[in-house]
Chains A and B, each alone.
Chain A
């Protein structure tokens, strides 16, 4: 399978990439990151851009650092580099847990954090985790820089707040070293994408949940917060009964008629999976408090 013909440009900086996007604004143009969503779509003919602008190796978009209580992740940081960054495990455990379950070893060696989120595949593992870890998405375009909370970033299937000449440059996560988190996923047996995936990020003080952010992907046409579950947890202890009752509210705010419904799973089945996987994500997060994993 060959992609259709296209022109390829490699940008050496964000400024150059924005210039190229503006220069080719009249053509069908795509940004190329790791290419692990775009290239398969091009090979099957689902996408036929005339121009690709490769930002995968732009130096200013790489790497993980902690500055002023903020975990900063360059948009072109590859999944495997995030998983190798100790700071990511410490400050964004739910996000890191989700990244560990993306694709397979080879995919994690090439795919990027920013490429994933900008693509906004509802069945990917990251939208729910980005919502749960309160990620701020940093974008840059001809009109300068913007900071968009994850809650306002995902609009629908493959649709985000990014403008046509804007580039997602990085993610910022509040560096809360008390946060515990987990991700529980029911993968499609064939593709490995999430039929349902739930990310839970919690802060527990003196045995009581002081804050809870729960995000899910695979269920609706974009990543969603599970507000009723968060409300049911806040102020409670993380015992089995609380977890079960909270997980039972996972679908309360979601319209089952709008749930993803395909050959792999009906909307009704996804609604059931969402409760089960919410419970599993919460149990996994709770078990992390009981026995913090040894660093490896």
Chain B
């Protein structure tokens, strides 16, 4: 069969759609359903720009067929904010200046939310390892790590200890990115 009726529940909304066998999940989301927050980057499973959560797990939607996701819950970057309020990971990416051009940001945030769901208090090294499947071509990794660290703090105690001030890489003595 080359055509398939599938159901995707995206950010809580159920969608029935018809896709070709070869339709990639990222294209079903963007082109069939209009969830254009998920970006297409390298298209070869390396850059992570297309990361969404599939039944809770961060996956690369350019390397998943839409038919493989039939019946699944998909969460995209559009599903993070609730009632017009930023999700803590969005808030801290803004406060910590965790983005430059912004292209990798939706994927970074979806990987980060998966990481924080599994490990609510990651070390900076664990954050770097958790995001190794997401590439920032602006190389703005220091502030991305700051943002995820800050989101972990906010999610655990509801407060950002430093008031959200931008920290510069100079405080990061280990110098790794």
Contacts and interface: CB of A to CB of B under 8 A. Distances in A.
Identify the interface centre among B20, B22, B24: most chain A CB within 10 Å of its CB. Answer: B22
Interface in B33-66: 43-46, 48, 51, 54, 57-60, 63-65
B142 interface: no
A106 B1 contact: no
A43 B40 CA distance: 14
B60 A35 contact: no
Contacts of A158: none
A283 B91 CA distance: 44
A117 interface: no
A121 to B, nearest CB: 14
Contact of A105 (B46, B54, B114): B114
A114 to B, nearest CB: 16
A128 interface: no
Contact of B132 (A44, A104, A110): A104
B65 A39 contact: yes
Interface in B123-145: 129-133
A295 interface: no
Contacts, number: 87
Interface residues of A, number: 32
B100 interface: no
Nearest to B135: A104
A6 interface: yes
B58 A8 contact: no
Give chain B's interface residue range (CB within 8 Å of chain A): 20 to 34
Interface string A95-126: 00000000111110110000000000000000
Contacts of A7: 1-2, 21
- Main SS at interface, chain B: mixed
B29 interface: no
B133 A35 contact: no
Contact of B133 (A4, A32, A39, A105): A105
Contacts of B59: 106, 109-110
Contact of A109 (B4, B27, B58, B132): B58
26 contacts: A1-B44, A2-B24, A4-B22, A5-B2, A35-B63, A36-B63, A39-B45, A39-B64, A40-B44, A40-B45, A43-B44, A56-B68, A80-B57, A103-B45, A105-B58, A105-B114, A105-B115, A105-B131, A106-B45, A106-B59, A106-B133, A107-B60, A109-B54, A109-B58, A109-B114, A110-B60
In the complex, the 5 A-B pairs of residues with the closest C-beta atoms, listed nearest first = A104-B133, A8-B21, A109-B57, A106-B133, A3-B22
